[in-house]
Amino acid sequence: MLHGPNLNLLGLREPQHYGRDTLDDINRRLQEQAAAAGIELDALQSNAESVLIDRIHACLGDGTDLVIINPAAFTHTSVALRDALAGVKVPFIEVHLSNVHAREAFRHHSYFSDLAVGVICGLGAHGYELALAHAIKRLAQPA
Ligand code: DQA
């Protein structure tokens, strides 16, 4: 589970868009969901593009089956993060807390969506749990 920039501020940050759950709340629920399904979940938040890129590169050798990513503002800016996911060829699900399509025009374009297995946006923190539920199902029945 990769969380992009400023998501460490969840709980404080613009709750009208992002809700009141903290990143720890979200990660805790995801860890419980993963443990109940018998899968290992590694969660990382970074404000640095290079840290996220390096973690994606590490998927090449660490047995990662799938990535759930909220690229946050990098969604709309980062060719480098897109290229990392494309280069490693790891399947990924893109998640946004807010409905980016109902917000400013610059949030309507994503550098990730056309490569993603699927995209969830606008469902708040529940979107992460839905993405993980899909990942669990997919891992049990590989395509
Ligand atoms: C976000 C939407 C982005 O536009 C924004 O820059 C974020 C969070 C979301 O989860 O709704 O930081 O990815």
| pLDDT tens for each residue of 31-87 | 999 999 999 999 999 999 999 999 999 999 999 999 999 999 999 999 999 999 999
What pTM did the predictor assign? 0.96
Q: How far apart are CA 81 and CA 71, in angstroms?
A: 8
Task: Tell which atom from ligand 1 comes closest to the C-alpha of 17.
Answer: 11
3-state helix, strand, coil in the chain (%, to 5): 50, 10, 40
ipTM of the complex: 0.99
For residue 142, give the amino acid letter. Answer: P
Task: Tell which atom from ligand 1 comes closest to the C-alpha of 71.
Answer: 13
Q: How far apart are CA 31 and CA 136, in angstroms?
A: 12
Q: Is 78 in the pocket of ligand 1 (CB under 6 A)?
A: no
For residue 75, give the amino acid letter. Answer: T
pLDDT tens, position by position, 90-133: 999 999 999 999 999 999 999 999 999 999 999 999 999 999 99
pLDDT band at 143 (very low <50, low <70, confident <90, very high): low
